[in-house]
């Protein structure tokens, strides 16, 4: 899991394509199978959302994990802006092209998520001074859940944003308190006892 400061530091170290990937993953909580299955026709710039309609695991396409996973995901204007910038320079920018097409496969397949982690994201983490953390694609989803919790976002809203099929899954993730929240709660509780 990355703190907001670490997330920002990572973004500064990434080239445009990988920065777009991380911004989408960190702001929407898309699963890696959903992120790499995205085509440009899934991005709605006017309504600022992404339609999640399929998943891709080892270049095998199929349904999303659950029915709840197929709900549209809102995009922040800054994510839309960087997406538009990426589309402008991408070799594969047609509606049916993948957002993150493999150059080696002439755009017929998406990039391999593990290779992106190995060759771009983990080295960028090291360059930004973030050590001692094993970061994978799911780390961005967990970071989103934790950040929503620290902002006090209602659990049902978090469930909808994370597209969990049931609230129990969200609660299991969502109730993992941030260290600062734990410290603050402990401090308030001790002050109440000693007041």
**Residue 150 included in any domain:** no
Considering only CA atoms, which of 70, 61, 78, 72 is closest in space to residue 26?
78
**CATH number of the domain enclosing 93:** 1.10.443.10
CA distance 93 to 190: 57
**Residue 145 included in any domain:** no
* Grouped pLDDT means (10 residues each) for the chain, 195 residues: 89 96 91 93 93 84 68 87 96 96 92 94 94 90 81 78 73 57 61 64
Q: Chain centroid to CA 25: how far? A: 2
Whether 40 contacts 69, CB under 8 Å: no
For the entire predicted model, the pTM comes to 0.83
**Residue 39 included in any domain:** yes
**Residue 60 included in any domain:** yes
**Residue 131 included in any domain:** yes
Considering only CA atoms, which of 115, 147, 118, 101 is closest in space to residue 8?
147
**Residue 181 included in any domain:** no
pLDDT of residue 177: 47
pLDDT of residue 55: 78
**Residue 80 included in any domain:** yes
**Residue 13 included in any domain:** yes
Domain containing 125 equals: 4-135
pLDDT of residue 147: 80
pLDDT of residue 38: 95
pLDDT of residue 102: 93
Domain count, the chain: 1
CA distance 48 to 91: 23
């Amino acid at each position: 899991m990355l703190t907001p400061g670490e997330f920002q530091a990572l973004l500064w170290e990434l080239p445009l394509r990988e920065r777009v990937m991380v911004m989408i993953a960190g702001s929407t909580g898309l699963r890696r199978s959903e992120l790499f299955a995205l085509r440009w026709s899934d991005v709605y710039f006017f309504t600022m959302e992404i339609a999640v309609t399929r998943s891709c695991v080892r270049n095998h396409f199929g349904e999303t994990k659950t029915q709840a996973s197929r709900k549209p995901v809102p995009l922040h204007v800054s994510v839309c802006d960087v997406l538009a910038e990426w589309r402008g320079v991408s070799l594969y920018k047609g509606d049916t092209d993948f957002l993150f097409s493999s150059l080696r496969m002439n755009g017929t397949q998406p990039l391999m998520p593990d290779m992106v982690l190995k060759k771009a994201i983990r080295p960028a983490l090291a360059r930004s001074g973030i050590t001692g953390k094993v970061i994978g694609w799911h780390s961005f989803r967990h970071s989103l859940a934790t950040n929503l919790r620290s902002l006090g976002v209602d659990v049902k809203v978090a469930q909808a944003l994370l597209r969990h099929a049931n609230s129990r899954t969200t609660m299991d993730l969502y109730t993992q308190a941030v260290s600062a929240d734990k410290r603050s709660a402990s401090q308030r509780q001790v002050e109440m006892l000693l007041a």
